[in-house]
Structure 1
Amino acid sequence: MTGPAVVLVGPMGVGKSTVGALLAERLGVTCRDTDQDIVETAGKPISEIFLDEGEGHFRELERAAVRTALAEHSGVLALGGGAVLSEETRALLAAHPVVFLEMDVSEAVKRVGLDAPRPLLLINPRQQWRTLMEERRPLYTEVARAVVSTDNRTPEEVADEILAALGLDTPQPEKQQ
C-alpha cells in the first residue's frame, strides 16, 4: 500500500502531534503534520489565516495539504482537527489506516486551555468544543479503523494501543540483566 503508515485524526489538543512523533520513532519513519504544512505554505499561523482570509480559505488550504500529504508521505501523518469536515478528504482517507484519537471535554479543557490561540474556541471554549465534537465525532468515527482514547493516558500508552490496534506491534528491545 502506498501512502502513510498511520493517519491520526481527532480534535485539537488530543495529542496527534505528540503521539505521531512517538509512532514515527517506533516505526522508523518520519511524522508529518498537515497543519504545519499549511503554516509553511501560507507563511503565517493558522489563527492569522482564519482572521485574514476566513475559515473557508483555510479549509481550501487544508484539503490541498491533506491531498498532497496522503499522496507523498509514507510515515505517520497527523491531520488538523477539522480536516474530516471535507467529503473529499473523508473519501481519500478510506484507503488508509486511520486512527481517531478521542478525549472528553474535561480532558480537552486541561490540554487546550481556555486562553490558547484556537480560532474556533474564542468564545465559550467548553461549549464550542462540545459543539465541534457533536459535529465531528461521527466523521472521525466514519474514517477510522480504530478509536483510541487519550484520557488519563501517557502518549506512550496511546502509541502502544495504536500499534496493537493496527497490527503494527514493534518488537521491544530486550532488557539487559
Structure 2
Amino acid sequence: MTADVRPVVVLVGPPGAGKSTVAALLAESLGVEVRDTDTDIETATGTPIADLFVTHGEAHFRALEVDAVATALGEHRGVLALGGGAVMRDETQAALRGHTVVFLDVGLAEAASRVGLSSARPLLLGNVRSQMKALLDSRRPTYEAVATHVISTDGRTPTEVAEEILTLLG
C-alpha cells in the first residue's frame, strides 16, 4: 500500500450537521469518491445501524466503527464522512491526527429540526431536543479537539458549507 493514501478531508460532527450531504457535494466538486463509515458498517454487516444498536448494543457498534474508520483512513483518497459518535473513541482520535478534519458545527435548534423524530438515530430516541442537547454538550469539546477547521452550518445550505470547505482546502 502506498504510504500517503489519505482522505482529502474528513468530516465530523453530530447528527444533523450535514456530513453526508456536504461530503457528497465536496467529492463531486473535487472529482473524488465519497465514503461514509456508517455506510461501510451497514454494508459489511448487512444490517442497518439502528438494528445493530438494538441487537448487539452500542459497545459492539463502536468497536465496528473504530475498525471502519481506521480502514477508511488508510485506504480512501476522497472525502470521508464519519458517524457522529466515531470521534469519541481514543483510537479514532489518535488515528485522525495528521489528517485534515473539518468539524461541521450545528446548533441545538437546527440539529433537532434537521434530525426530527428519526428512528434511524438510536441515540436520539425519546425527547429528541433533550437528547440532542446532551449529545452536543458531551461531544463538542472532542469534535473541536480533533478538528483542523470548524465550520458552522446553521442557517447555511450544504452548498455554501461545501464552498467554504473548498476554499479552506485551497
The question of a shared fold, defined as TM-score above 0.5 by the shorter chain, is answered with yes
Q: 1:64 aligns with which of 64, 67, 71?
A: 67
Which aligned segments of 4 or more residues in structure 1 are displaced greater than 6 angstroms?
Answer: none
Aligned equivalent of 2:127: 124
Aligned equivalent of 1:44: 47
Gaps of 5+ in 1: 168-177
Give the aligned length. Answer: 167
Q: 1:33 aligns with which of 25, 36, 51?
A: 36
Change (3 A) 1:115 1:92: closer
Highest CA radius of gyration, 1 or 2? 1
Equivalences for 1:107-122 in 2 at 5 Å? 107-122=110-125
Distance 1:115 1:79 in 2: 19
Aligned equivalent of 2:84: 81
Distance 1:116 1:51 in 2: 12
| Paired amino acid for 1:89 | T
Equivalences for 1:125-140 in 2 at 5 Å? 125-140=128-143
Distance 1:118 1:132 in 2: 12
CA-based RMSD of the aligned residues comes to 1.0
Distance 1:2 1:43 in 2: 27
State the SS of the aligned residue for 1:136.
helix
Aligned equivalent of 2:17: 14
State the SS of the aligned residue for 2:104.
strand
Gaps of 5+ in 2: none
Identity percentage over the alignment? Answer: 60
Greater Cα shift, 8-17 or 113-122: 113-122
- Give 1:42 shift: 1.1
TM-score computed with the length of structure 1 as normaliser: 0.91
